[in-house]
Chains A and B, each alone.
Chain A
Amino acid sequence: MHSLAESHAEILAEILAENYADGDALSSDLRQQFPLLSETIQGHPLAYLDSAATTPMPQPVIDALVHFETHCRANIERSSHTLACRATDAYQLARQQVASYLGVEDAEQIVFSSGATASINLVAQGLAEQLRPGDEILVSAAEHHSNLIPWQRLRDTRGIILKTIPLTSEGRLDLAGLDKLLTSRCRLIAVTHASNVTGAITDVQSIVRAARRVGAWVLLDGAQAAAHGPLDLPALGVDFYAFSGHKCFGPTGVGVLWGRAECLQVLTPLKVGGGMVEAVTLEQASFKGGYRRFEAGTPPIAQAVALGAALEWLQGLPWHQLREQQRRLSKKLLSGLRAVPGLRLLGPGLVDAGSLGSESLGRGSLENRLPIFSFEIEGMHSHDICHLLDQRGVALRGGKHCAQPLHAAFDMTATSRASIGLFNNTADIDALLEGLWLARKILL
Chain B
Amino acid sequence: MNSDIYQQGIKSLAAARLACEPLERPDAQVTLDNPLCGDRVTVAIKLQEGGAMALSYKVKGCLLCQAAMNAIGAAASEGSSLSGLDDVAEQLSSMLKGESTQSRWPPKWQSLALFEPVAAHKNRHSCVLLPFKAVAQAQAVAVKAI
Q: Return chain B residues, CB-CB under 8 Å to A382.
A: 37-38, 62
Give the size category of B's interface with A: 20 to 34
Partner of B37, one of A407, A414, A443: A414
B interface majority secondary structure? loop
Chain B stretch 48-83: residues in CB contact (< 8 A) with chain A: 60-65
Q: Is B27 an interface residue (CB 8 A)?
A: no
Query: A413 to B36, alpha carbons, bound, how many Å?
Result: 12
B1-A413 in contact (CB<8A): no
Q: Is A106 an interface residue (CB 8 A)?
A: no
Q: Is B2 an interface residue (CB 8 A)?
A: yes
Q: Closest approach, in angstroms, between the C-beta of A149 and any C-beta of chain B?
A: 13
Q: Is A438 an interface residue (CB 8 A)?
A: yes
Q: Name the residue on A nearest B126 (C-beta).
A: A383
A413-B61 in contact (CB<8A): yes
Most B CB contacts (10 A, CB to CB) among A387, A391, A439 go to A387
A383-B38 in contact (CB<8A): yes
Q: Name the residue on B nearest A398 (C-beta).
A: B37
B62-A381 in contact (CB<8A): yes
A384-B38 in contact (CB<8A): no
Partner of B127, one of A383, A413, A415, A435: A383
Residues A384 and B63 in contact in the complex (CB < 8 Å), given A42-B2, A442-B6: yes
Q: Is A400 an interface residue (CB 8 A)?
A: yes
Residues A383 and B124 in contact in the complex (CB < 8 Å), given A399-B37, A400-B38, A443-B63: yes
Partner of B38, one of A387, A388, A391, A413: A413
Give the size category of A's interface with B: 20 to 34
A interface majority secondary structure? helix
Chain B stretch 1-29: residues in CB contact (< 8 A) with chain A: 1-3, 5-6, 11
Q: Is A86 an interface residue (CB 8 A)?
A: no
Partner of B1, one of A400, A407, A442: A442
Q: Is B144 an interface residue (CB 8 A)?
A: no
Q: Is B106 an interface residue (CB 8 A)?
A: no
Q: Return chain B residues, CB-CB under 8 Å to A398.
A: 37-38
Query: A438 to B127, alpha carbons, bound, how many Å?
Result: 22
A399-B35 in contact (CB<8A): yes
Q: Closest approach, in angstroms, between the C-beta of A431 and any C-beta of chain B?
A: 11
Query: A425 to B60, alpha carbons, bound, how many Å?
Result: 34
B124-A414 in contact (CB<8A): no
Q: Is A392 an interface residue (CB 8 A)?
A: yes
Q: Closest approach, in angstroms, between the C-beta of B34 and any C-beta of chain A?
A: 8
Q: Closest approach, in angstroms, between the C-beta of A384 and any C-beta of chain B?
A: 5
Query: A259 to B5, alpha carbons, bound, how many Å?
Result: 50
Q: 21 A-B pairs, CB-CB below 8 angstroms?
A: A381-B38, A381-B61, A382-B38, A383-B37, A383-B65, A384-B64, A388-B3, A388-B6, A399-B35, A399-B37, A399-B38, A400-B35, A413-B39, A413-B40, A414-B37, A414-B39, A435-B1, A439-B1, A442-B6, A443-B6, A443-B11
Given A383-B65, A388-B6, A435-B1, 16 further pairs, Cβ under 8 A: A381-B37, A383-B61, A384-B63, A387-B5, A392-B1, A399-B36, A399-B38, A407-B38, A413-B38, A413-B39, A413-B60, A414-B38, A414-B39, A438-B1, A439-B1, A443-B6
